[in-house]
């Protein structure tokens, strides 16, 4: 299958540069998973779309202020370092700009020397490993010196850093936000609970793959980078209970989806407590084992995320829905509007 099959025309003005003041004010494109029928609503209408007995699964990862601006010790050149994954012993996998200036042994300092990093290994496409040295507590220094690592297509500054964090963020470790979760407020979550929808959490720390485009022509040649996940027994039990009782398991975001599907794929279709690293790549032809519905944002052309949606609801349905979203001027990407791929209701299932 060709990557070009997942391309579409997206006017630049539809790329949302700033979040709305009200998280729930985003629009919501609702599409039937089975029939592709599209309706236009607002995000707060999600409460009406879900049924009592359904389960909503959210990713509670917390974004690190992982973007550091430092100085190359030898020349004084400005260097940008994006922390991606801690590998132990104060070592981190990172992305660096400009990477050609950073060789093994290069030292970069941050905050007038409060934090220092030595390059210990070279990676691909701007990747570098650094070993950090400092006095005190690393994460306190990161809170002091770091910035939120906004995606490259967002060119405006973010005045309120908490808007690139979900209201339920808890487990520190992501290099990017699970953006489908940005629409939720405590009030919406409470309204869902009052309706009888159960809420559960998984953790997947978003990493390197988020910042790298698909660079091959054929989908099957693409390799995903591994990301760390945790599924508790409490959440796993809720998934099994929901399935057994005929409810729908609705994942919030592709990160929650990949966690649930990784675990189900490795356990003969059953969701169990687990943790580890996943590099699952879901594209058309994949048979879903865990989720029935999906809340997601609108994604980049030719991205692995768009391929996942196409696997879940059919490429033709998804591409037509995206064409409709462009026509109706939906806001795209991290700070944009949302899409709900709706499972069949209990009544529709008979």
Residue 77: is the preceding peptide bond cis (ω within 30°)?
no
**Residues constituting the chain:** 350
Q: What is the pLDDT of residue 214?
A: 81
Dump pLDDT digits (tens) for 63-75: 999 999 999 998 9
Q: What is the pLDDT of residue 225?
A: 84
CA-wise closest residue to 295 among 82, 12, 46, 9: 46
73 within 8 A of 103, measured Cβ to Cβ: no
Here the tokens at position 266 are 């490795």
CA-wise closest residue to 40 among 325, 292, 253: 325
**Taking residues 225-235, what's their average pLDDT?**
95
Question: Which residue in this structure is represented by tokens 């009030």?
Answer: 187
337 within 8 A of 326, measured Cβ to Cβ: no
CA distances from 128 to 92, 205, 294 (A): 8, 19, 35
Q: What is the pLDDT of residue 166?
A: 97
Average pLDDT, the chain: 94
Dump pLDDT digits (tens) for 240-296: 999 999 999 999 999 999 999 999 999 999 999 999 999 999 999 999 999 999 999
**3-class SS string, the chain:** CEHHHHCCCCCHHHECCCCCCCHHHCEEEEEECCCCCEEEEEHHHHHHHCCCCCEEEEECEEECCCEEEEEECCCCCEEEEEEEEEEECCEEEEEEECHHHCCCCCEEEECCCCEEEEEEEECCCCEEEEEEEECCCHHHHHHHHCECCCCCCCCCCCCCHHHHCCCCCCEEEECCCCHHHHHCCHHHHHHHHHHCCEEEEEEECCCHHHHCCCCCCEHHHCCCCCEEEEECHHHHHHHHHHHHCCCCEEEEHHHHHHHHHHHHHHCCCCCCCEEEEECCCCCCCCCCCCCCEEEEECCCCCCHHHHHHHHHHCHHHHHHHHHHHHHCCCCECCCCCEEEEECCCHHHHC
CA distances from 293 to 4, 50, 97, 102, 146 (A): 26, 10, 38, 44, 36
Here the tokens at position 98 are 């400009």
- More confident: 221 or 326: 326
Dump pLDDT digits (tens) for 195-228: 999 999 999 999 766 556 688 899 899 888 889 9
pLDDT class for 114, splitting at 50, 70, 90? very high
Portion of the chain with pLDDT greater than 70, in percent: 98
Portion of the chain with pLDDT greater than 90, in percent: 84
CA-wise closest residue to 280 among 342, 222, 236, 202: 222
Dump pLDDT digits (tens) for 5-26: 999 999 999 999 999 999 999 9
pLDDT over 90 (residue 141): yes
**Taking residues 160-180, what's their average pLDDT?**
93
Dump pLDDT digits (tens) for 279-293: 999 999 999 999 999
Q: What is the pLDDT of residue 208?
A: 62
pLDDT over 90 (residue 53): yes
pLDDT over 60 (residue 99): yes
CA distances from 12 to 9, 53, 329 (A): 9, 40, 11
pTM passes above 0.75: yes
CA-wise closest residue to 189 among 16, 307, 55, 77: 55
Query: Angle at the Cα of 308 (from 86 to 261), degrees rounded to 5?
Result: 65
Q: What is the pLDDT of residue 152?
A: 78
CB environment 283-305: b (16+ within 10 A), e (fewer): bbebebbbbbbbbbbbbbebbbb
């Amino acid at each position: 299958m060709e990557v070009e099959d997942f391309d579409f025309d997206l006017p630049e003005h539809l790329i949302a540069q700033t979040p709305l003041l009200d998280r729930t004010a985003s629009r919501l494109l609702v599409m039937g998973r089975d029939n592709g029928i599209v309706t236009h609503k607002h995000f707060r209408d999600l409460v009406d779309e879900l049924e009592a007995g359904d389960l909503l699964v959210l990713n509670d990862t917390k974004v690190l202020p992982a973007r550091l601006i430092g100085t190359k010790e030898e020349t004084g050149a400005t260097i940008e370092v994006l922390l991606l994954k801690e590998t132990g012993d104060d070592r981190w996998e990172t992305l660096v700009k400009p990477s050609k200036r950073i060789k093994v042994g290069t030292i970069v300092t941050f905050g007038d020397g409060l934090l220092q990093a030595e390059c210990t290994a070279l990676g691909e496409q701007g990747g570098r490993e650094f070993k950090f040295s400092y006095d005190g507590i690393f994460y306190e220094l990161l809170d002091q010196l770091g910035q939120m690592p906004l995606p490259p297509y967002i060119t405006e500054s973010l005045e309120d850093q908490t808007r690139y964090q979900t209201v339920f963020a808890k487990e520190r470790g992501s290099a990017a936000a699970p953006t489908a979760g940005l629409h939720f407020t405590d009030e919406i979550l409470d309204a869902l609970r009052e309706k009888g929808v159960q809420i559960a959490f998984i953790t997947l720390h978003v990493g390197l793959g988020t910042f790298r485009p698909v660079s091959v022509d054929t989908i099957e040649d693409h390799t995903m980078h591994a990301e760390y996940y945790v599924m508790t027994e409490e959440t796993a039990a809720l998934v099994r209970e929901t399935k057994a009782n005929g409810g729908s398991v609705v994942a919030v975001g592709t990160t929650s989806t990949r966690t649930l599907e990784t675990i189900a794929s490795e356990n003969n279709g059953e969701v169990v407590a687990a943790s580890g690293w996943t590099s699952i790549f879901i594209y058309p032809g994949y048979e879903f084992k865990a989720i029935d519905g999906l809340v997601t944002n609108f994604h980049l052309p030719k991205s692995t995320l768009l391929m996942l949606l196409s696997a879940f609801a059919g490429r033709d349905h998804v591409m037509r829905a995206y064409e409709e979203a462009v026509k109706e001027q939906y806001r795209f990407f991290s700070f944009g509007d949302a899409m709900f791929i709706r499972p069949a209701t209990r009544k529709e299932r008979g």
